[in-house]
Amino acid sequence: MALTATSTLASKPAPRGTGPRVIRNPVWVRVVFMTIALLFVACFLVLPLAAVFTEALRKGISPFFHSFTDPDMLSALRLTLLTASIAVPANLVFGVAAAWCIAKFEFRGKSLLITLIDLPFAVSPVISGLIYVLVFGAQGWYGQYLNAEAPWLPGLQAWLIEQDFKVIFAVPGIVLATIFVTFPFVARELIPLMQAQGNDEEYAALTLGASGWQTFWRVTVPNIKWGLFYGVILCNARAMGEFGAVSVVSGHIRGETNTMPLHVEILYNEYNFVAAFAVSSLLALLALLTLLLKSLVEWRAHKGTA
Amino acid sequence: MSTAAISLPRFRRRVLPGFGLSLGFTLAYLGLIVLIPLSAAFLKTAGLSWADFWAAVTSPRVVASYKVSFGISLLAAMVNAVFGGILAWVLVRYTFPCRKVVDALVDLPFALPTAVAGIALTAIYAPNGWVGQWLDPLWAGGVNRLAGWIPWIDWQNWLGSKVAFDRPGIFLALTFVGLPFVVRTLQPVLEELEPELEEASATLGANRWQTMTRVIFPELLPALITGFALSFARALGEYGSVVFIAGNMPQHSEITPLLIITKLEQYDYRGATAIAVVMLVASFVLLLLINLLQKWSRRYYRV
């Protein structure tokens, strides 16, 4: 998915033919391959998932539910939801705009632009957080601006100081870091999809007298809605689950700048395993829901093209 | 038909509205969110003298962390190439119950928050965990035996003496996060692979082994290398799932992203940024390589 140029939704599945006997592997090879593949899946995918829920329920049902009444946990949940509700729409609007200009028009430097959009996927989450510390931290550009003797826009500086507006170790930094790490998701999904669809339907709408926005809302959006949804659920899963980047900029203030994944870390380091896994189980459920929705969209898209 | 479409006059291209708006917004957003912050890392490092920079990125603890990060990421990507390859083959070619479920589960490492993956893997492979309780003694025994046979290599240092909280734990976490890449790059290629190719090979007298190694494998190679590189790039930057299971001993099981965080927590911004620049350059080179690989494989598969 990440970094790959092909959209899952733009490609068609081949029919699964078993084929004639000559191109089948001997039975023992098939058995060995199946065993290796399923063991690999069991060790690395099924076991961790099972472990999350088992560890969460280790002491029984009531300690499990008790973990969710902790006010710090609730504030972490609120912050995670807030962060995702800003980051996902922001990247959604960006993704649509980027896909529109890249897929519908020809211009110089297009492939460079596509590569630049991919950039955040290539950057380590820790470095994604670090760069925001460098820009907005006390030592960074923003800190220098606040301490400057003769700043540009002195009114803005005075206002920011008066409001005590902080970015790093505060909510805005968490939101920015999350936007950075989830930056390419929607765009990567939409660009190949819209390129595959071409411009003919939009041309037809314009010829029939539709305005630009009418064409966009009534022709383009219905065509890309599943790709849009697909990009959004992946973007949302990452936004709610991001750990490394958010960890660098958050400052880990309990009840204030802790997102759910960071809360998991704190509980775990306090040896409060049941609570850590209880919060984790909520995140794991979110992951499972994401996978389910993703499979449904893929299934729908393939049925549509078949 | 198609040549006529290509040679359309220039003005016809901008019939659709919104080019300026969408491109302008895209560039502004890209600049503000990605390019300006990223350039901060390079500008901050430019403030360092070359000698300071070199000292910061080649101190023994940092070099040890590169070795751990690059070495184990490479190993994890290789294991993913082999097992992910087999998994992709099984998912495309065989029918078995729950195939759809397994197929969907392959994306779990993308969807599961890395911190959750980290503590879950730790719970399984810790000395009292489900797998750890019998794998740990087995691993320690195996490493000891190796040390008996080949005493001139420090096996305890290289392989670690336990599974979780040592180097094998890092390997497990990095394999987990890189798992989907090989499978997801190979799957579409395998699905497009035409059965006629294998039939022709069989008709010309090749046995199944020859068909697999001389016909199918070369077809899959570009996608396999791309998946390997993607998986390696992801493992290199991974932080969340590793810190819980790694043990984090300096110069032994400390990965580079963790070292960056450690430096930040000590307010050594210059040191952290210098290491980050090294990692950024490494990942940009990888990104470039991956793009070239994808161009190559696209040309390769179209022919």
Check: CB of residue B102 under 8 Å from CB of residue B91.
yes
Same domain, B181 and B229: yes
Cα distances (Å, whole numbers) of residue B56 to B45, B46, B253, B273: 11, 13, 19, 9
Q: Is residue B142 part of a domain?
A: no
Smallest Cβ distance to B286: which of A43, A51, A122?
A122
A63-305 adopts what CATH topology?
Answer: MetI-like fold (1.10.3720)
pLDDT band at B302 (very low <50, low <70, confident <90, very high): low
Same domain, B197 and B293: yes
For residue B214, what pLDDT is reported?
Answer: 87
pLDDT tens-place string over residues B218-237: 889 989 999 999 999 999 99
Q: What is the mean pLDDT of residues B39-59?
A: 92
For residue A5, what pLDDT is reported?
Answer: 39
Smallest Cβ distance to A48: which of B110, B121, B280?
B121
Same domain, B7 and B60: no
Specify the range with the lowest mean pLDDT, choosing from A121-125, B12-16, B45-49, B52-56: B12-16
Distance CA B238, CA A230 (A): 24
Cα distances (Å, whole numbers) of residue B123 to A23, A42, A122, A242, A281: 43, 15, 29, 21, 14
Same domain, B42 and B82: no
* Domain, as residue range, for B197: 49-126+164-302
Same domain, B188 and B112: yes
Q: Is residue B155 part of a domain?
A: no
For residue A16, what pLDDT is reported?
Answer: 52
Q: Is residue B159 part of a domain?
A: no
Does position B239 have pLDDT exceeding 60, yes or no?
yes
ipTM of the complex: 0.89
Using a CB-CB cut-off of 8 Å, the residues of chain A touching B203 are 22
Check: CB of residue A149 under 8 Å from CB of residue A93.
no
Give the residue among B117, B240, B74, B27 at the shortest CA–CA distance from A129: B240
| Residue B162 φ/ψ region, left for φ over 0, alpha for ψ in the -120 to 50 degree band, beta for the rest | beta
For residue A22, what pLDDT is reported?
Answer: 59
Distance from CA of B154 to the nearest CA of A (A): 28
Q: What percent of chain B has pLDDT over 70?
A: 94
Distance CA A205, CA A210 (A): 6
**Tokens 């003769």 correspond to what residue?**
A150
Same domain, B39 and B111: no
| pLDDT < 70 positions in chain A | 1-23, 304-306
Smallest Cβ distance to B15: which of A125, A176, A203?
A203
Q: What is the mean pLDDT of residues B105-115?
A: 95
- A225 in contact with B at a CB cutoff of 8 Å? no
Does position B169 have pLDDT exceeding 70, yes or no?
yes
Give the residue among B139, B136, B132, B134 at the shortest CA–CA distance from B158: B139
- In chain B, the number of structural domains is 2
For residue A217, what pLDDT is reported?
Answer: 94
User: Rg of the Cα trace of chain B?
Assistant: 24
Using a CB-CB cut-off of 8 Å, the residues of chain A touching B228 are none
- Among B7, B116, B234, which would you mutate to test the A interface (most chain A Cβ atoms within 10 Å of its Cβ)? B116
For residue B4, what pLDDT is reported?
Answer: 44
Contact state of B260 with A132 under an 8 Å Cβ cutoff: no
Pair of tokens at residue B176 = 């987990």
Q: For the beta carbon of residue A125, count every other beta carbon within 10 angstroms.
A: 25
pLDDT tens-place string over residues A51-68: 999 999 999 899 899 889
Pair of tokens at residue A104 = 């519908």
Using alpha carbons only, give the angle A297, B115, B127 rounded to the nearest 5 degrees. 120
For residue A8, what pLDDT is reported?
Answer: 54
Check: CB of residue B80 under 8 Å from CB of residue B182.
yes
pLDDT band at B40 (very low <50, low <70, confident <90, very high): very high
For residue B5, what pLDDT is reported?
Answer: 47
- The rounded mean pLDDT for chain A is 89
Q: For residue A47, what is the nearest residue in chain B, using CA coordinates?
A: B124
Give the residue among B187, B176, B160, B221 at the shortest CA–CA distance from B77: B176
- A248 in contact with B at a CB cutoff of 8 Å? yes
pLDDT tens-place string over residues A261-305: 999 999 999 999 999 999 999 999 999 999 999 999 988 887 765
Q: Is residue B140 part of a domain?
A: no
Same domain, B233 and B101: yes
For residue A146, what pLDDT is reported?
Answer: 87
Contact state of B41 with A131 under an 8 Å Cβ cutoff: yes
Q: Is residue B120 part of a domain?
A: yes
Same domain, B178 and B249: yes
Distance from CA of A162 to the nearest CA of B (A): 25
Using a CB-CB cut-off of 8 Å, the residues of chain B touching A29 are 208
Q: For residue B34, what is the nearest residue in chain A, using CA coordinates?
A: A180
Q: Give the start-to-end residue ranges of the domains of chain A.
A: 24-56, 63-305
Distance CA B61, CA B114 (A): 25
For residue A246, what is the DSSP state?
H
Distance CA A230, CA A5 (A): 15
Using a CB-CB cut-off of 8 Å, the residues of chain A touching B284 are 122
Residues of B numbered 45-64 whose beta carbons fall under 8 angstroms of chain A's beta carbons: which are they? none
Cα distances (Å, whole numbers) of residue B34 to A107, A230, B118, B225: 21, 23, 28, 28
Stated pTM of the model: 0.90
Give the residue among B37, B38, B39, B29 at the shortest CA–CA distance from A91: B29
Q: Is residue B135 part of a domain?
A: no
Smallest Cβ distance to A48: which of B14, B86, B120?
B120
Q: Is residue B148 part of a domain?
A: no
For residue A188, what pLDDT is reported?
Answer: 92
Distance CA B158, CA B160 (A): 6
Same domain, B77 and B169: yes
Q: Is residue B286 part of a domain?
A: yes
Distance CA B277, CA B274 (A): 5
For residue B295, what pLDDT is reported?
Answer: 82
Helix, strand or coil for residue B196? Answer: helix
Q: For the beta carbon of residue B80, count every other beta carbon within 10 angstroms.
A: 30
Same domain, B177 and B281: yes
Distance CA A251, CA A29 (A): 53
CATH of the domain at B271: 1.10.3720.10
